[in-house]
Amino acid sequence: MTSDYRPIQSPIFQQEPEHPGYRYREYAPCEQLASHVSCYWTIDFHADVDNQLHRIIPDGCVDIIVDRRSPAPRKAAFVEGLMDQFEVLHISDARSLFGIRFFSESAQSILKFPVSAFIGQHVFLEEIWGVEGLYVVEEILAAGTASDMIEIMERKLRYLLGSSSISPNSLLLASMKYMYAFKGSISTSELADKLSFSERHLRRTFAQELGLSPKEMLGIVRFQSILQELCTGAYSSFSDIAVKYGYYDQSHFIKSFKRYYGILPKQV
């Protein structure tokens, strides 16, 4: 269902030359987990180089983040909820992070709580998975390579999915399927019509499940779809993209892009 939607983060999109001491990498999940996990990722930064800016952009996903330099396993891993605008981190201290990026519509099967529970706060993994979460974190902190960390996490995720009694919300799943299919270029009213539900019910479901409105999620999916298209280079102008994705005009497209990315398209 989500195979065509693969969100992009700033370091991958801009493809800038790596700065000494800073490295961002993404890794694909196994086929069994591909409908739940967008990717695994790592960030490594050495403090003996200049400060590093790391831009995070909305992608419609929720992440588990493990701080591999944390002195205490109980405080090393937490869930980061959905974002609706960009954030720029100024990294000055040495960092080593490992992340798991989940699609929002299926994350509850693994996280055990609606994604809306993680909006605006860090929830430690032990609070979600109990002592088993702590064991996983300790294994990841002791792992030597990214492939070792991924193997540990995939073993845990397969177990959780196999034993979970929580099913994703069917209306949310169907809604996101349409959003991905239309690349975000569909209105909330059109979406409600296709699903045979009222807009009010749709908004209530998204608020309960994700903590974002359907309109906000549509904007994020459309933004990420545009990034995917920009990566292919199959466009002649920003005006063409604005028209294709249903913006009133190029200025509307530029304003929306800046909201999610933080800078103008031509600056990227």
Q: pLDDT tens digits for the chain (268 residues)?
A: 445 788 999 988 887 656 778 889 999 999 999 999 999 999 998 866 667 788 999 999 999 999 999 989 999 999 999 999 999 988 778 889 999 999 999 999 999 999 999 988 889 999 999 999 999 999 999 999 999 999 999 999 999 999 988 888 999 999 999 999 999 999 999 999 999 999 999 999 999 999 999 999 999 999 999 998 888 876 678 888 888 898 888 888 999 999 999 999 888 7
Nearest to 103 by CA among 148, 169, 47, 49: 169
- Which runs of E-coded beta strand occur in 108-180? 123-124
Nearest to 127 by CA among 138, 109, 116, 112: 112
CATH number of 170-267: 1.10.10.60
Q: Where are the domains of the chain?
A: 10-163, 170-267
Q: Please give the backbone phi and psi of residue 27, each rounded to the nearest 5 degrees, phi first.
A: -135, 135
Structural Rg of the chain based on CA atoms: 19
CA distance 72 to 79: 16
